[in-house]
Amino acid sequence: MDSVREIPLFNKLSEEHFRQLEHFSYFKTYNAGEIVFYEGDDPGTLYILVDGVLRLYKTDPKGHEFYIHQFVPVSLVGELACFENMKYPATARFITSGKILKIDYKRLENDFFKNPDICFEIIKSLTRKVKILSNVIHQEMILTSDAKVAKFIINHFDIFNSLKNNEVASILNITPETLSRTLAKFKKQRWIEQPRHANTKILNKAALKKLFEE
């Protein structure tokens, strides 16, 4: 994807707007591990993720990363900070290599947002984010560690199997030790099975579900 014209968010833009947009936006490629913006950075740039996986996280005073979400293309990122003119509330780091369209927000004409199609896309994006954050709150504040692990195994079984426990723990915002102990507990109850060199098997889905469905 090399042109703003290919971005779904803008698919109904007028030719005039396209030409404007091209003047104050550009594509940038990133390597895995590179930071797009830091929590606390001043706003002003709107990001559209067009390639790669972008992780959003906050950092606590002890330096621990608190995982919030991983975006996949095509996603609008950073609009809250821009709309509200507040510092970015989280850090964005590429997990894979990727590409982003960077847009100078301040130079976007207001009438840009008069376009109903753009508005609709923005509403969709914001709605997704409310949902994401609402889920984060549920997962982190309401569920116990056991419940989080059980939910992840059931709802993201393939991801669970493809990632190292290390990575799973970081997504769940628990330590690898806690994950290890929780899995040991599940195995002891014979709710799951982890044969050597093979995928985890769920033996008692109902028991696992009971942990996170009240």
158 binds, among DNA, a copy of itself, none (CB under 5 to 8 A by kind): none
Binding of residue 161 to DNA (CB under 7 A): no
155 binds, among a copy of itself, DNA, none (CB under 5 to 8 A by kind): none
**How many CA atoms are closer than 13 Å to the CA of 21, on its beta-carbon side?**
24
165 binds, among a copy of itself, DNA, none (CB under 5 to 8 A by kind): DNA
Q: How far is the CB of 38 from DNA (least distance, A)?
A: 21
**Residue 71: which of 101, 90, 86, 92 has the closest Cα?**
92
Looking only at the bridges linking them, the beta strands covering 45-51 and 54-59 are unpaired
201, 193 contact by CB (below 8 A):
yes
Find residue 102's DSSP bridge partners.
26, 47
197 binds, among DNA, a copy of itself, none (CB under 5 to 8 A by kind): DNA
Closer to a copy of itself at the Cβ: 104 or 146?
146
Binding of residue 180 to DNA (CB under 7 A): yes
Q: How far is the CB of 57 from DNA (least distance, A)?
A: 14
Calpha distance 91→210 (Å, rounded): 34
Binding of residue 145 to DNA (CB under 7 A): yes
**How many CA atoms are closer than 13 Å to the CA of 10, on its beta-carbon side?**
23
